[in-house]
Structure 1
Amino acid sequence: MIAVAMSGGVDSTFAAHLLKKQKKNIFGLFALFSPKDPEKEIARVKRLTEALKIDLKIVDLTLPFREKIIGYFRKSYRQGLTPNPCIICNREIKFGLLLEEVQKLGASQIATGHYVRVIFNETNHCFELLKGKDPGKEQSYFLALLNQHQLSKALFPLGEWRKEDVIKEIVKLGLFGLTSPESQEACFIKGDYRELFTEEDFPPGEIVTVDGRIVGKHQGIYAYTIGQRRGLGVRLGRPYYVVAIDAPKNRVIIGPKKYLRCERFLVKKFHLICDAYRQKELEANVRIRYRHKEAPATIKFYTEKEAEVIFKKPQQAVTPGQFAVAYQEDKVLGGGEIHLKETFSSSD
């Protein structure tokens, strides 16, 4: 039996339709992650599962989600990092705790509407994660921390599809009007993520240039990220960007654009999807955020988990807390959280 994780959107709905069309034994699964007004979402998913003529089961994961994901989100900002909750959620919740729950419900696999592909490589005996066929939608970046067990239990029916064709088919099925708009933000945030924080969490502090000049005040380091130009509230005669965040001193450090260039950084917990990929050095294309165009790099492993990524050409706005994901063509090698080897001093 297969559990299809359904959010009420186009992608998960069409994934369920495809599996049913293949005569798979499936049921719909809705996971509660946020305690805020879930009734509307549940009602929408119920209408969709009724239209698809499949059962719906509901799993409440609000408590572990708050601890593992919202807790991680808040902790990262307190450390001056820019988190990526979707990557952690996929590893810890959707293909972690939720997978455990669906197995208790009698399902052996979980299917989602991600635009990625998984194949089993007979040569290296590994499940391999590949980009989805739609270059504008593919989501392999967000699944780069999954392990072999998780990939072995995952199904991605949309891996060979293009989003525009999925929408056309959903319209033909008469289901488009029942689906929810596509979300562009973290699922637990209704509006601006800054609403999660208060002045008590993040007091105001100083905005400092790379050469140590205090040039303004910030309203909390959580509101800033590397590469940010707008909303700094300072006028210095030319564009200045956030180039570092000094959490211990509660300072935002700004500088000209040249200070955003970064050639190398550390990944302290580099996850390789398959042990067969392991070498002392890997040549790969590395993506430093979801919409970043992959850039050629060398990855040097100093220990089993600690690696240094060295770009052939410096990249802009490498951001601590975001994730570096390594590719060889369409194949995902793995990745981990970015740690800069050195940052700018904000001492007076």
Structure 2
Amino acid sequence: MSEKKVLVAMSGGVDSSAAALLLRQQGYACDGAMLRLYSGETEGTCCSADDAADARSVAYSLGMKFYVFNETERFARDVMDRFVSEYCAGRTPNPCIDCNRCLKFGALLERALLLGYDYLATGHYARVDFDAATQKYRLLRGRDRHKDQSYVLYQLTQHQLSHLLLPVGEYDKPSIRDSARQAGLLNADKSDSQDICFVPDGDYVQFLREYGGVDLTPGDFVDRDGHVLGRHKGLPCYTTGQRKGLGVSAGKHVYVLRKNAADNTILLGDDQDLFTSDLTANRVNWISGEPPAAPLRVTAKTRYSQTEAAATVTPLPDGRIRVTFDTPQRAITAGQAVVLYQDEVTLGGGTIE
């Protein structure tokens, strides 16, 4: 094949390193790149200083150039500031999805194309193919369903998919680690990062205070009849489905059902009250580029780790969608993503209202 140029997004972890290894073995001309996103990187989160050193070492060992691009301002504006505003509005955002949309497949792909690369590659466990019948690119789930990351990629567009390679999506995690070991990559057994990079200790409330200047405003816990059950510490301190740490004596277990920013109250209720069959979502992306003309049978999930459930999605006139599940789902949370599938194909999704 003619040698195609690929810029590999390298995080310092084994998956993106294996992506570079696989593409080199397939004959692509590859270079590596990392985005500098956050000036306070801490060990154990993605894109830390140690991660950059690991990524650079792997790139050099594979005969690749390695670049670091500074996108701290864009990351602060499009990811961190939105994280703050969403929490203040009573929603629970997913910053990794925002980072993928704005930075990895926004800023980095723009740079790759500007620099003359044909493709951007990442270490996500998902797949891209081209459907000759529809003349559309498709985002497919990863072969390893335990590692499938299509949920966080639902905002990809036809333009982005046409320039995207996802080589590790054809493999399971043990195979990827084995390939990295055989090639002598130093991060073959490196553990996966788990935390939000700008909230490395998991204390997002403290982040909201220090970075966002958020003053937590106490308010009332209430039940469906409007009875006050106690006082909360501020809307951002709680999330839908939470039971522990409420400090409420109701004579039974109660759970956070909904946060109401309009009057600064938090509705509490029974576990059974957390189940609902319907949701609406905005900021909708259809990967094909076109919404369906009529209600469509799909499977859908509202959390990354959730197994998808049978549902019907109905496009609304204003661009939003309504998703109606066959079986009620627990703790559907405003601000999270609902992602839609048909068999192996990721159709798209939106932000839950």
Q: TM-score range by the shorter chain?
A: over 0.9
Alignment equivalent of 1:163, drawn from 148, 157, 173: 173
Task: Give distance in 1, aligned partners of 2:331 and 2:199.
Answer: 24
2:227 is aligned, of 196, 213, 219, to: 213
Q: Give the TM-score taking structure 2 as reference length.
A: 0.92
1:344 alignment counterpart: none
Q: TM-score, normalised to structure 1's length?
A: 0.93
2:51 corresponds to 1:41:
yes
1:288 and 2:298 aligned: no
Hey, what's the Cα distance between the residues in 2 that align with 1:323 and 1:162?
25
Q: Tell me the equivalent position of 1:195.
A: 206
Are 1:3 and 1:111, in contact at CA under 8 Å, matched by a contact in 2? yes
Decide whether the 8 Å contact of 1:80 with 1:247 is kept in 2: yes
- Which SS does the other structure have where 1:269 is aligned? strand
Match of 2:27 in 1: 23
1:234-288 CA distances to partner (integer Å, 9 max, x unpaired)? 2222111100001122222111112101111112332211146622110000111
Residue 311 of structure 2 is matched in structure 1 by 297
Mapped pair 1:223 → 2:237: yes
User: Which residue does 1:343 correspond to in 2?
Assistant: none
**Which one of the candidate residues 126, 130, 135 is aligned to 1:116?**
126
Point out the more displaced range, 163-172 or 139-148: 163-172
The aligned residue for residue 146 of structure 2 is: 136
Q: Deviations over 1:171-210 (max 9, x none)?
A: 2222244775311122332112222122843222222222
Aligned to 1:238: 252
> 1:105: how far off?
2.4
Per-residue CA shift, 1:26-49, capped at 9, x if unaligned? 101011011125533322222222
The residue identity in structure 2 corresponding to 1:69 is V
Pairs within 5 Å for 1:141-156: 141-156=151-166
Is the partner of 1:268 in helix, strand or coil?
Answer: strand
Percent sequence identity is: 36
Cα 1:304/1:150, change in 2 over 3 Å: farther
* Residue number in structure 1 paired with 2:45: none
Contact 1:283 1:297 in 2 (8 A): yes
Q: How many equivalent residue pairs?
A: 339
Q: Which residue of 2 aligns with 1:346?
A: none
Contact 2:58 2:186 in 1 (8 A): no
Separation in 2, partners of 1:282, 1:197: 39
Amino acid at match of 1:289: R
Q: Do 1:124 and 1:276's aligned partners in 2 also have CA atoms closer than 8 Å?
A: no
CA offset digits 1:197-234 (Å, max 9, x no partner): 22843222222222222222222211211111111112
Equivalent residue, structure 2, for 1:8: 12
Q: Does 1:104 align with 2:114?
A: yes
**Separation (CA, whole Å) in 2 of partners of 1:200 and 1:287:** 31
Q: Does 1:265 align with 2:269?
A: no
Amino acid at match of 1:68: D
What is the identity, as a one-letter code, of the residue corresponding to 2:30?
I
Gaps of 5+ in 2: 42-47
